Amino acid sequence: MADVLPLVEARLRSALGEPDARAAVTFLGTDRIEVLRFTEGDVVRYATLGMSAQPMADPTAVLADPVKGPRAELILSVRLGVADTDKVLRPLAVLAASPQVEGLIVAPGASLDVGGALWPGAPFTSVLVAESGGLVDDLELDAPADPVRFLPLLPMTPNEAAWKRVHGAGALQERWLNGGTDLRDPLRRSVPLD
């Protein structure tokens, strides 16, 4: 099968425009992960490029299928100029490398923890993986390969992450919706959870 990354980058560019910056991170024993930055108005979007090069494999499988299996890239959208969000590049690359490093299958509803602030001063240490198909359409690949899904990441405070573990992703998203939460605010406080 042809390299999917040029197709993925083309899909990102057609949906988000030209990136105004890009950075690459390589972790020992993994493929290179790039993070592209797209700025539109007062919103900056960070999209990974490299996570979808290989399908995510079930960690219990004896052999990983080189073609079949879910593929994804991650997208984080935040308000521009409110915080030093460009420091999110490394944590995003770590999350994108987690299927290779830890054998994780990243899917909607999952929580991903970065073990520290997403960027300096951020009240968030983890993200909720949302459903694909809103900002960037899924990229269909030749059969039998699964499509590449572009999964939005929603930053969570530690309290929100703990509440989500008990009540589920849907309940947390409902709280955000009912509370009128601006999920792009890089300095927002936790939604009321009582």
More confident residue, 27 or 97: 97
4-35 pLDDT, tens digit each: 999 999 999 999 999 999 999 887 777 889 99
Max Cα-Cα span within the chain:
51
Residue 1 has pLDDT above 60, yes or no: no
**For residue 2, what pLDDT is reported?**
54
Q: What is the DSSP letter of 139?
A: B
Q: Who contacts 52 (Cβ-Cβ below 8 Å, separation ≥6)?
A: 4, 5, 8, 71, 72, 73, 148
Record the pTM: 0.94
Segment 96-112 mean pLDDT: 91
Strand ranges of the sheet holding 148-156, from the earlier edge strand across to the other edge:
21-25, 33-40, 43-49, 71-79, 148-156, 126-129, 111-113
Segment 170-186 mean pLDDT: 95
When mean pLDDT is compared across 17-21, 137-141, 143-147, 156-160, the lowest value belongs to 143-147
